[in-house]
Amino acid sequence: MHHFSYRDGVLHAEDVSLAELAVDLDTPFYCYSTATLTRHFQVLKKAFAGLDIMICYAMKANSNQAVIKTLADLGAGMDVVSEGELRRALAAGVPARRIVFSGVGKTAAEMSLALREGIACFNVESEPELELLSTIAQRLGETANISIRVNPDVDAKTHVKITTGKSDNKFGISMTRAREVYARASKLAGIRITGVDMHIGSQITTLEPYQQAYRILGGLVEELRADGHPITHVDIGGGLGVPYRGTNDVPPHPDEYAALVLDTLGHLNCKFVMEPGRMIAGNAGILVSRVIHVKDTGEKRFIIVDAAMNDLIRPTLYDAYHEIIPVSEARNATLNSLADIVGPVCESGDYLAQNRPLPQLEPGDLISVMTAGAYGAVQACTYNSRLLVPEVLVNGPHYAIIRPRQTYDDLIGLDRLASWQH
C-alpha cells in the first residue's frame, strides 16, 4: 500500500498535488511519503510483536537523513555498510547501540569509528576481516560484538545481481567452514561472539528460500551453542520484496514472514535482528518527470522525458519494471499504445520503460515513476554532467525539500585544475 492517488484529476502525494510540486520545484524530483514509510514500518513491527527483535532499516535503500529520522523516531535501528552511512545514521540521532555494520569491505578506519561509537554489532563477512577487527579493537582497547555472516548456498529466486546467498556470491563464509571460523573468533582478543548473520538476497517474492535458509541457520546455531559459543542473537537479514507491478506482483505479507521465522527459528529463544530496506522505502517514493518530446520513427514511439538513467538506473542495471502513470488522471484514461520512455543521456541503455503500453502522452505532461523510493536517489549520479535531482518529503498537506537540486556551480566546483593549468 502507498499514499499516492488521484484527487480532483491530479495525482497527489498524501494531500500534496504533484502538479503543484512540479511548478514549485521543476522536474525531475523524488517525492517520499511519510505516511507510507510509517505504515510499512509499523506493519512489520506488528507482525513480529511478541518476539524480541531489533528492526534495523537497511540504509543502502534510501539514506536521506529525513527518511532515516522518520524511521528512527518510530524505533528503528539502522543497518549500515559504510562509514558514510554510519555517519548519516549518527547525524540523524540514531543511537549507536541500535546500529549494525554489514558489508564485505570494511576498512580499518571504518572499524575504528564504529568501535569508538559503540555500535551494537559487526556482521563479519570474512576471516581477514575478523583478524583485522581483532587488531583494531586491541589497539583501541575496545571489544567488538560480532556475528559472522554465513552463506547457506540457497537460491533466493531473485535477480542475479541482487542474490547474496549462493556459494558463488562474494558475501559471507561457507556453511562448511562456519564452526571452524567461530572457533577461531573465540580465541581472538578484542572479539566477543554474540550472534550469527544470514542474508540471502533482495526483492524476494516467495517464502520458500527463507524457509530453506532458516532451517539451515537454526541447525547451525544449535551446533555453535553445543560448541560452547554464546549465541544470543540471530540476524535474519532482509530482502522481502515489494509489488513493482501492482496487484500482479504481490510478495508475502509480513505476517506470513513472521510466522515462518517463528516456525523455523522460534525454538532458539534468542533475540532477532532484521534488516529490511526496500520493503519499507520502495513504495514510499516516486520519481516525477516531464515529457520533453514525443518521437515516432515509424517503427517505434519514444517518449523522451527529463529524467534519465543517471536519476534512476534500476531499469538499465536490473532490467527492473516500474509502473509509470501520468500525473493527470484524464491523460491516464486515454488509449494505450506501445512506447519506450527514454531520457536525454547519450546511451542506448537510457530508458525507464521499454515496449510498454502507455497513454497518449504529450510534451509538457508529467509522469510518475512508481515504487522508486528504494535504490533510486541513492544510486543516482551526474553522468553527462547532469545535476542530482531534489528529494522531497511529504507529510499530510505539508512538504519539505530534504535535498535541494544540485547547481552547476556545485557540480563544476567539485573539479580542480592542475597546478600547471592556472
Residues 6+ positions from 358 with CB-CB distance below 8 Å: 303, 324, 336, 337, 338, 339, 341
The backbone region for 237, taken as left when phi is positive above 0, alpha when psi lies in -120 to 50, beta otherwise, is: left
For residue 394, list its beta bridge partners. 33, 399
Looking at the fold, whether 174 and 113 belong to one and the same domain comes out as yes
248 lies in which domain range?
103-274
- How many of the other CB atoms lie within 10 Å of CB of 240? 24
Looking at the fold, whether 250 and 154 belong to one and the same domain comes out as yes
Looking at the fold, whether 270 and 253 belong to one and the same domain comes out as yes
> Which residues are known catalytic residues?
346
Helix axes 178-186, 208-226, angle to 10 degrees: 40
pLDDT of residue 170: 53
Looking at the fold, whether 259 and 347 belong to one and the same domain comes out as no
pLDDT tens, position by position, for the chain (422 residues)? 789 999 999 999 999 999 999 999 999 999 999 999 999 999 999 999 989 999 999 999 999 999 999 999 999 999 999 999 999 999 999 999 999 999 999 999 999 999 999 999 999 999 999 999 999 999 999 999 999 999 887 654 544 544 444 445 556 798 889 999 999 999 999 999 999 999 888 788 889 988 998 999 999 999 999 999 999 999 999 888 898 886 666 888 999 999 999 999 999 999 999 999 999 999 999 999 999 999 999 889 999 999 999 999 999 999 999 999 999 999 998 888 999 999 999 999 999 999 999 999 999 999 999 999 999 999 999 999 999 999 999 999 999 999 999 999 999 999 999 999 98
Looking at the fold, whether 287 and 406 belong to one and the same domain comes out as yes
**Dist CA 56 CA 72 (whole Å):** 9
**Burial environment of residue 228 by CB neighbours within 10 A (0 to 12, 13 to 18, 19 or more):** exposed
Looking at the fold, whether 342 and 207 belong to one and the same domain comes out as no
Helix locations, 9-142, DSSP H: 18-25, 34-47, 65-72, 83-91, 108-117, 127-140
Looking at the fold, whether 222 and 294 belong to one and the same domain comes out as no
Looking at the fold, whether 131 and 229 belong to one and the same domain comes out as yes
Tracing cell 537460491 back to the chain, one arrives at 155
What CATH number does the domain containing 313 carry?
Answer: 2.40.37.10
- Into how many domains does the chain fold? 2
Looking at the fold, whether 19 and 140 belong to one and the same domain comes out as no
The backbone region for 307, taken as left when phi is positive above 0, alpha when psi lies in -120 to 50, beta otherwise, is: beta
Looking at the fold, whether 384 and 286 belong to one and the same domain comes out as yes
- How many of the other CB atoms lie within 10 Å of CB of 9? 13
Looking at the fold, whether 266 and 229 belong to one and the same domain comes out as yes
